[in-house]
Amino acid sequence: MLFYSVSQVNAYVDEVLEHLAAGRMTGKARYIHEQFVRAWSRMLGNRLTFECDEEETNYITRPDDAAVIYPAIVRASDEGQTCFIDAFACVGGDTLAAMYYFRQLPVHAVQLNDTPASEGRFARLAANVEHFNRMIPGRPKRGYAHGTDIHSFLCENTEILERSILYLDPPWTVDSAAATGISPLREIAAFLDAHVWRALRVCPGLIVLKLPAEAADVQDWPFLARHYSLADRVSPRGRFHVHIFQRR
């Protein structure tokens, strides 16, 4: 069997994305996608199978991005955090990274599960999380997949928020920005306002936001400006920023 390094696989993924953008999925692109899936399982010791469809390859946090993002989150966190909440989990790129980099914390992965498409996605997330749980026999289960809207999850789990790390990788095309005339960043800000900030009765210890690189002024967003200070910002590959906020 042929194995590739994670960086080689990532280069191939860029090729897949070009194929997808052009609306064609050739046999080669499908093969590259499989290599990407294999890269995750290699990263996690060759013992994990990772389920992900072609479109989701577009969204998920790649292993090499995780290697930049997660050490920064670990540096900004302290002994006081008791769980990690991956609010927009998709198939679990970040969920698995969180389980991998935070060896002691329970990880809650929240993904909508209300349409046939999102149902399939949630099923893949749940399978990926279960695979990872089984990799660590004899230890308490650490990964939990929740098929629900993040707003409901936050309202119903207030007691775990204060000492949590809340990780937010929201959809970047929330609605039709072109149709509304509102910039995509303002759409994302409004989406987070409705689905996350308004659901928080208690402020999480750490909030991590993965956003397009153009979102330079997030620390001025009213909720964050009122309760948080920017602790760090990392930019894997320069295409997006990951902002790490600590509660004041």
Residues of this chain that interact with ligand SAM (CB under 6 A) are 59-61, 88-94, 110-112, 118, 121, 149-150, 169, 171, 195
Q: Which is nearer to ligand SAM, 89 or 244 (CB)?
A: 89
Query: What gap in Å lies between CA 177 and CA 175, rounded to an integer?
Result: 6
Q: Which is nearer to ligand SAM, 175 or 232 (CB)?
A: 175
Q: Which is nearer to ligand SAM, 171 or 229 (CB)?
A: 171
Q: Which is nearer to ligand SAM, 32 or 196 (CB)?
A: 196
Shortest spacing between CB 245 and ligand SAM, in angstroms: 17
